């Protein structure tokens, strides 16, 4: 069977270079509780359902110590919900402004659609969040054929595979071999691997790289190349089948059907061994 469906992530992959919107919102929400987190710590669970992301951050040893010193008790579910409410407030305040397309998205998606591929999507955003992101992207020229949020799969978002399965149901895929998942977080790769599909990571503008577009543009060509290589290594260590710099590289790969077949053979061989 040949690949016919590409399932893309949103923030950090197709929109919001650097995945900046949720990072800033998480930082502010935890600062409201007098909890200090580094950007690296915030980014590590990126791609998960946002309330699960908050639980992951609260489970950090450093945060548990801070919390107990401040409040004399461990955090509880009510604390999770309180932080989440603050997170939503900060996120929605500038979500549209931080949902602009990444530089290559529009051109790459045009090429991929011309090649005849279905374009699906998954996200860590809720349905209400995605309504904002989708509208901004649509105005700028990108609208995938199908959008799935954790709300559509009983909140069983990444790393569960169910959002991918919902895309496959919609596109009536007969096999995992027909599908490629593309994303910019470790959770994206885990989602793809758990679904049994070819999993490709985007390095440039990814959450793992962690730079805004302005910060990235300030780097020299050599610095960009090194940073992309370092980011790719992290993804490969987490099981990515392939790393690409950006979505234009994806379009070029899809144009070369033999390249996709080689990748799938490599994936099958890695499973056998």
**Pick from 51, 52, 55, 25: which is nearest to 39 by CA?**
25
Is 9 known as a binding-site position?
yes
**Tokens 């199908």 belong to which residue?**
146
Q: Exactly one of 33, 50, 102, 193 is catalytic; which is it?
A: 50
Q: Whole-angstrom Cα distance, residue 243 to residue 134?
A: 25
Q: Do 170 and 120 form a contact (C-beta atoms < 8 A)?
A: yes
User: Are 10 and 133 within 8 A, CB to CB?
Assistant: yes
Task: List the alpha helices (DSSP H) in the chain.
Answer: 20-31, 39-43, 50-58, 61-71, 77-94, 105-114, 127-139, 162-171, 186-195, 213-217, 221-237, 247-255, 257-272
What Å distances lie between residue 121 and 9, 41, 86, CA to CA? 6, 26, 26
Backbone φ and ψ for 243, nearest 5 degrees, come out as -120, 140
44 counts as catalytic? no
Q: Is 11 annotated as a binding residue?
A: yes
Q: Let me know how long the chain is.
A: 273
Has 151 been labeled as part of a binding site? no
Is 50 an active-site residue?
yes
**Residue 200's closest CA among 4, 11, 13?**
13
Binding residues for Mg(2+): 9, 11, 184
Catalytic residue ranges: 9, 50
Binding residues: 9, 11, 184
């Amino acid at each position: 069977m040949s690949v016919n469906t590409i399932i893309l992530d949103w923030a950090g992959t197709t929109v919001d270079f650097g995945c900046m919107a949720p990072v800033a919102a998480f930082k502010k929400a935890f600062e409201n509780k007098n909890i200090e987190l580094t950007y690296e710590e915030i980014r590590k669970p990126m791609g998960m359902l946002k309330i699960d992301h908050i639980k992951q951050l609260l489970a950090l040893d450093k945060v548990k110590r801070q919390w107990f010193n401040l409040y004399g008790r461990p955090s509880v579910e009510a604390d999770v919900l309180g932080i989440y409410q603050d997170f939503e407030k900060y996120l929605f305040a500038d979500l549209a402004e931080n949902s602009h397309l990444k530089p290559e998205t529009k051109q790459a998606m045009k090429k991929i659609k011309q090649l005849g591929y279905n374009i699906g999507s998954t996200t860590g955003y809720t349905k209400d969040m995605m309504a904002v992101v989708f509208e901004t992207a649509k105005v700028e020229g990108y609208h995938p054929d199908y959008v799935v949020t954790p709300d559509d799969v009983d909140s069983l978002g990444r790393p569960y595979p169910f959002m991918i399965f919902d895309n496959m149901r919609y596109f009536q895929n007969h096999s995992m071999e027909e599908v490629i998942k593309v994303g910019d977080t470790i959770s994206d790769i885990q989602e793809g691997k758990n679904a049994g599909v070819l999993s490709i990571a985007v390095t440039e503008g990814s959450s793992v790289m962690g730079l805004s577009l302005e910060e990235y543009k300030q780097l020299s060509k050599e610095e960009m190349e090194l940073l992309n290589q370092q980011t790719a290594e992290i993804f490969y260590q987490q099981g990515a089948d392939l790393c690409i710099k950006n979505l234009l590289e994806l379009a070029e790969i899809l144009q070369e059907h033999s390249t996709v077949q080689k990748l799938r053979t490599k994936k099958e061989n890695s499973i056998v061994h």
